């Protein structure tokens, strides 16, 4: 794939990270409990870090070097696949927010995975697989919080 195509993929990923950041910051306004707000602010901060990593890659990072680094396998807890997404509103619970976050991260992961499967160019496929792993890591983090907080309440 051309340099321009790689740039467009990374720019799209940056947009996804910005959307996720805005989602978490918006969710902060929906909840009243301080500890829940802290978790959401932490998740928003992580999205900012992911966005910065992608921007650094866009601004001259060696894409092939970054995407070729072997990373540990990420466990997919697969909670999003079983939990029902509800619209967020002023009555949203922490559980509602986490489920929505899981679904957002799953959607991004699924998108990148699908793009990797249909791409013929090896570097582009590796880039999509790298982005999919990043999103799976985000999903795992949110699902782990859900597991630790929500499941423990039962």
| The two structure tokens encoding residue 99 | 């489920």
Global pTM reads: 0.84
Q: Give percent helix, percent strand, percent coil of the chain, each to the nearest 5.
A: 75, 0, 25
Three-state SS at 125: helix
List pLDDT tens digits, range 59-68: 876 777 777 7
Hey, what domains does the chain have and what are their CATH numbers? 3-153 (1.20.1260.10)
List pLDDT tens digits, range 106-135: 999 999 999 999 988 888 888 889 889 989
| The two structure tokens encoding residue 139 | 């999903």
Residue 63 DSSP code: H
- Name the nearest CA neighbour of 10 among 44, 56, 74: 56
pLDDT along the chain (154 residues), means of 10: 81 92 90 82 91 84 73 90 87 87 93 91 86 92 91 68
């Amino acid at each position: 794939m051309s340099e321009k195509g790689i740039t467009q993929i990374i720019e799209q990923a940056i947009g996804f990270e910005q959307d996720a950041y805005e989602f978490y910051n918006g969710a902060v306004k929906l909840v009243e409990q301080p500890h829940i707000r802290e978790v959401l602010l932490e998740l928003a901060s992580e999205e900012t870090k992911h966005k910065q990593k992608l921007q650094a890659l866009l601004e001259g990072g060696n894409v092939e070097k970054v995407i070729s680094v072997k990373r540990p396998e990420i466990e997919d807890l697969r909670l999003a696949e079983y939990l029902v997404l509800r619209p967020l509103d002023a009555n949203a619970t922490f559980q509602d927010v986490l489920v929505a976050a899981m679904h957002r991260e799953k959607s991004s992961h699924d998108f990148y995975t699908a793009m990797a499967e249909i791409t013929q160019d090896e570097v582009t496929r590796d880039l999509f697989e790298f982005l999919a792993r990043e999103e799976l890591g985000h999903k795992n983090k949110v699902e782990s919080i859900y597991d630790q907080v929500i499941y423990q309440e039962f």
